């Protein structure tokens, strides 16, 4: 097999076949190709299904396609998940679903940033890094239980950068954050 682009194109030249019906004047090149996987939807939330898809060309119908999910800095290790699909007859888009379960992986991973590697035969391609977040929703209340509208807070979690936020007119905080146990610290306006 001849390769080109060191995998940059995600394709491998698998066969050169000369068509003798054209008396050597034409030839056909068969290319096996896996496109970079896409992860949908754009808002990726813990516990909600994600769609992983890629185009797979030059492989027979029914050929297995594996989507392996890794932390970006741990591509040499085991994937945190593997989901399989197969090439179809009508189109060459392979689509599978995967749901990230943070409770299952929280002790074995260090972030919720991942890449997806799609592979079919000897062809592989990798996605852009994705981050999976969780919904953080709280209502800030004062000592007497009254809501704290438009209040500045600092969200702190072990191993994470502090996050500044502000409650809305009803005292609610609604954010998408990396999964963690956050301590909400109300900032005193006099400290600024």
**Per-residue model confidence as pLDDT tens digits over 49-86:** 999 999 998 888 899 999 999 999 999 999 999 999 99
Query: Residue 122's closest CA among 5, 11, 42, 30?
Result: 11
Q: Class of the 2-131 domain?
A: mainly beta
**Residue 11 — very low, low, confident or very high, per pLDDT cuts 50/70/90?**
very low
Name the strand (E) or helix (H) holding 105: helix 102-105
> How far, in Å, CA of 70 to CA of 6, rounded?
21
pLDDT, one tens digit per residue, over 87-110 is: 887 778 999 999 999 999 989 998
Give the start-to-end residue ranges of the domains of the chain.
2-131, 135-191
pTM of the predicted protein model: 0.76
The pLDDT of 115-126, averaged and rounded, is: 95
The pLDDT of 19-38, averaged and rounded, is: 68
Q: Please, what's the largest Cα pairwise distance for the chain?
A: 91
């Amino acid at each position: 097999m001849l390769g080109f682009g060191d995998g940059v194109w995600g394709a491998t030249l698998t066969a050169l076949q000369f068509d003798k019906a054209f008396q050597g004047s034409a030839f056909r090149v068969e290319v096996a190709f896996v496109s970079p996987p896409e992860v949908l939807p754009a808002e990726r939330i813990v516990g909600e299904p994600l769609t992983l898809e890629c185009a797979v060309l030059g492989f027979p119908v029914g050929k297995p396609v594996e989507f392996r999910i890794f932390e970006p800095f741990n591509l040499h290790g085991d994937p945190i998940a593997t989901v399989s699909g197969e090439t179809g007859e009508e189109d060459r888009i392979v689509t599978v679903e995967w749901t990230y379960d943070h409770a299952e992986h929280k002790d074995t991973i260090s972030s919720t940033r991942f890449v997806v590697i799609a592979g079919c035969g000897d062809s592989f391609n990798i996605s852009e890094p994705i981050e999976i977040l969780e919904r953080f929703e709280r209502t800030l209340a004062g000592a007497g239980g009254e809501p704290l509208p438009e209040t500045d807070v600092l969200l702190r979690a072990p191993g994470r950068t502090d996050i500044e936020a502000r409650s809305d007119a009803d005292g609610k905080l609604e954010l998408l954050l990396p999964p963690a146990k956050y301590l909400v610290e109300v900032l005193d306006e006099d400290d600024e």
